[in-house]
Structure 1
Amino acid sequence: MFGLSELAIILIVLIAVLAAKKLPDLARSAGKSAHILKAEARAIKEAENAGKATGAGRGEGSGEAPAPRVIRGEAVARDTTGGGGENGGQRA
């Protein structure tokens, strides 16, 4: 019978044969994703280093919590008429 490594090789070859048209696109998108991930990790590291350099007395060591992140959103008007909506104006 086949062992686990032989089955894995057969599966890889089968996928390569059946998905030969899509593999270059998949590899390209995986490379772009890895590049973006590395850039973001580098930016976070630089931001942490810059934060430590500028705010020497603040942060984890001084007992102060870092400032919360503000995510700007969009204001949406609420429907106060009681009609319509997902459940036909009835409260759940």
Structure 2
Amino acid sequence: MPNLGAPELIIIAVVLIALFGWKKLPDMARSLGRSARVFKSEVDELKKDGKPAPSDAARSTVPGDVVDGDAERRAAEARLADAERRAAEARAEADRLRAASTPTNPVAPTSPAGTSASSTDDLRRDTTF
């Protein structure tokens, strides 16, 4: 790398002033100095410890707790199978109730006004889901 003399440094300073403006340069230098200090302190801390700092996950995990992904997957599958079984039972019960509420007489009864009304219409009106 060639040596940087006074003329080269003056040219670099003029280019920086032209690019960023006279007012922005002190703020940028201050920010760069803070960043360098923070970086240096973090490097020193890591050298003292000899190991990286624990992550958030490592701090929140209780020592001795082992998370078994397969066991959690099996438990979730069991809950899903139980929910599907209960849903099938509910559908079967609903079908049984519908079959029980249909009239055995193929002729629908007539209402007092002379219009025909079936029990399934009453069931649909009275039942809220």
TM-score, scaled relative to structure 1: 0.41
**Larger RCO of the pair (alpha carbons < 8 Å, separation 6+):** 2
More helix per residue: 1 or 2?
2
Max radius of gyration: which structure? 2
TM-score, scaled relative to structure 2: 0.30
